Structure 1
Amino acid sequence: MVHQLSWLEAIVIGAMQGVAELFPVSSLGHSVLLPAVIGGSWAQDLDVSAPESPYLAFIVGLHVATALALVVFFWRDWVRIIGGLFTSIVRRKVTTSAQRLGWLLVLGTIPVGLVGLLLEHTFRTVLSRPVPTAVFLVINGLVLLGAETMRRRAVSGIPAAATPPAPGGRHDGVDPAGRTVVMHVGAGPATAAEASDERLGAMPMLRAAGIGAAQIAALCPGISRSGVTMATGLLRGLSHEDAARFSFLLSTPVILAAGMLKLGDLAGPLGDGVRPQILVGSLLSFVGAYLSVRFLTRYFENRSLRPFGIYCIAVGAACLIWFGIR
């Protein structure tokens, strides 16, 4: 029997995708777990592990919409970064923060791009099932909490004023709870984004590659791309604000490329009968992603991953209990 997508399914999943893709709670995990928890036609229509499900074409549309929302939000940054890459190639040297950040993003994208091309189908068809996904969601929560705990221990006893000023006239310290304390101590770059570019661009190449490679874990449903890259960034010395920014910039080309490579599914048989639902779901995903990144870039200026870690553990454990007793 061929299952299609209802309008309600398209609206709910589309809105959820836009939010969950950027919040460190795993959009793919939620896309697997919510239909399984509801059951019935939802579990049949929204089976991401099925090879010929129209849900796959739907997910492709949502990912492209999410990536476009990130491009729109960070368009000034991408103009500066892409311009830096172009000028560095023409001049054959890397001197500005935008140029350095651009090449670090390229370097950080290569590992997950290669692994995704080779193993994405295997990860999706083998692991994108309710029970493994719930287990991975719990693991995601533990990773977030573990990163916050380890970071707090690493900086315990170090007052904010003891850390050296960051490039651009900012002084980024850490309070006893492990949260970033930001103080301006002089004139710096014209915008906060440019100041962040300077700090991120100063990262060693291996550190940037390691943070980017952490995205590979997000091929497992339930592991959040933004969550695992932010956690890795925190453990490698980034502030919450810079870790979030680097994570969002890293994820944009990955999400966009993954969606563009599978756009043919929308035009092919998998898209038959569901293209209107894909359009509506994608629109909601775009709006949800834009509002989410706008909120999160401000949230992580002075807050931590801890609430999201608790949420993932609670939801993952509740799903495992539900699947066990149902």
Structure 2
Amino acid sequence: MSQLDYLEAIVVGAFQGVTELFPVSSLGHSVLVPAVVGGRWARDLDVSAPESPYLAFIVGLHVATAAALLVFFRRDWVRIIGGFVTSVRYRRVRTPAERLAWLIVIATIPVGVSGLLLEHLFRTTLGRPVPAAAFLIANGVVLYVGERLRRRTNTVQTAPGAAVDADVAADQRLSRLPAGRAALIGGAQVLALLPGISRSGVTMVAGLLRGLSHEDAARFSFLLATPVILAAGVLKVPDLFGPLGAGIHGQVLAGSVASFVSAYLAVRFLTRYFHTRTLMPFAIYCTLAGTAALAWLTLQ
């Protein structure tokens, strides 16, 4: 990993920021891009090794991505954290902010427990190019099927109440989700432990199938992803200061800056994109990219 140069760090960082939020799987691209490029990239950037220095590098990128989400949704998180504090203090769940805070807690528990128990096993056994390509194809199928089934589902329309702006209105709509639906949407994140399956993609599909609009499904997906990505990164931050991070602190910083910038631009684009558009282009991309990568890897 000491051979990781700044070009690799910046390119991988930019990819991480975009693919973590676009419904195309950041882990899948972290596995496939080095394998397809080959040569030094394939040697330096191996995420499946039991004690992977590349994984330690990716930790910094995850923290940067979560930071970008926190900055973009800062007003939402002020309301959500404030709602959590008041609900605990007064032992109540009455306001939209208090309810949304607890919905996020409930929806985060399944992936939190599964991540602690299964992340290492899935990454080391399945975090290889061929399985990642196959799962990327599966991700495309999930997005396509989700869109097709969603068209037969009546979208739940919830009144925004006395909202003062569009963001508050969106949070109020999300706060009216039944706890069971929120848990099912959050539980879909467990599938993202498989390299090639997108966290934002599967949670959006789950949201669409539970009656959310594309815009609200994307928003809820990003809010759910923030604590999960941040916690996953923070738990492994010590690796950056141990043997796995030796000699790459500069590359981690460069990659993290690239990841922060690209993630911020990605979430800004996607929150507007899903106001009127669907997951279908991403379904086509994942299917074609996964098929091309699988063909390339098996024919080499």
Fold in common (TM above 0.5)? yes
1:47 CA displacement: 0.2
1:50 CA displacement: 1.0
1:125 CA displacement: 0.3
1:164 CA displacement: 7.9
1:91 CA displacement: 1.1
Match of 1:108 in 2: 107
- Quote the Cα distance in structure 1 between the aligned partners of 2:174 and 2:290: 33
Match of 2:225 in 1: 251
1:63-82 map, 5 Å: 63-82=62-81
1:244-323 map, 5 Å: 244-323=218-297
1:1-326 map, 5 Å: 4-155=3-154, 166-168=158-160, 188-326=162-300
- Quote the Cα distance in structure 2 between the aligned partners of 1:166 and 1:124: 39
1:53 CA displacement: 2.9
Structure 1 letter corresponding to 2:18:
V
Contact 2:2 2:248 in 1 (8 A): no
Structure 1 letter corresponding to 2:15:
M
Contact 1:54 1:274 in 2 (8 A): no
Higher helix share: 2
1:238 CA displacement: 0.4
Contact 2:143 2:201 in 1 (8 A): yes
1:324 CA displacement: 1.5
For 1:209-230, what per-residue CA distance to the aligned partner results, in whole angstroms no more than 9, with x for missing partners? 0000000000000000000000
1:154 CA displacement: 3.0
Contact 2:9 2:252 in 1 (8 A): yes
Query: Which structure's CA Rg is the greater one?
Result: 1
Structure 2 letter corresponding to 1:313:
T
Structure 2 letter corresponding to 1:93:
R
Where 2:290 maps in the other structure, the secondary structure is helix
1:168 CA displacement: 1.8
1:165 CA displacement: 5.6
Structure 2 letter corresponding to 1:233:
G
Segments of structure 1 that go 5 or more residues without pairing to the other structure are 156-162, 170-187
1:96 CA displacement: 0.8
- Quote the Cα distance in structure 1 between the aligned partners of 2:34 and 2:157: 49
- Quote the Cα distance in structure 2 between the aligned partners of 1:230 and 1:47: 29
1:19 CA displacement: 0.6
Contact 1:3 1:53 in 2 (8 A): no
1:3 CA displacement: 5.5
Where 2:160 maps in the other structure, the secondary structure is coil
- Quote the Cα distance in structure 1 between the aligned partners of 2:129 and 2:156: 47
Between the two proteins, what is the percent identity of the paired residues?
A: 67
1:90 CA displacement: 1.0
For 1:95-120, what per-residue CA distance to the aligned partner results, in whole angstroms no more than 9, with x for missing partners? 11111110000000000000100111
Contact 1:24 1:225 in 2 (8 A): yes
Where 2:152 maps in the other structure, the secondary structure is helix
Structure 2 letter corresponding to 1:321:
A
- Quote the Cα distance in structure 2 between the aligned partners of 1:124 and 1:254: 17
Match of 1:183 in 2: none
Q: Tell me which moved more, 301-310 or 197-206.
A: 197-206
- Quote the Cα distance in structure 1 between the aligned partners of 2:150 and 2:13: 34
Structure 2 letter corresponding to 1:100:
R
Contact 1:5 1:54 in 2 (8 A): no
Where 2:212 maps in the other structure, the secondary structure is coil
Structure 1 letter corresponding to 2:177:
M
Contact 1:25 1:223 in 2 (8 A): yes
- Quote the Cα distance in structure 2 between the aligned partners of 1:193 and 1:100: 16
1:234 CA displacement: 0.2
1:166 CA displacement: 2.6
- Quote the Cα distance in structure 2 between the aligned partners of 1:136 and 1:245: 24
Contact 1:108 1:211 in 2 (8 A): yes
Contact 1:28 1:221 in 2 (8 A): yes
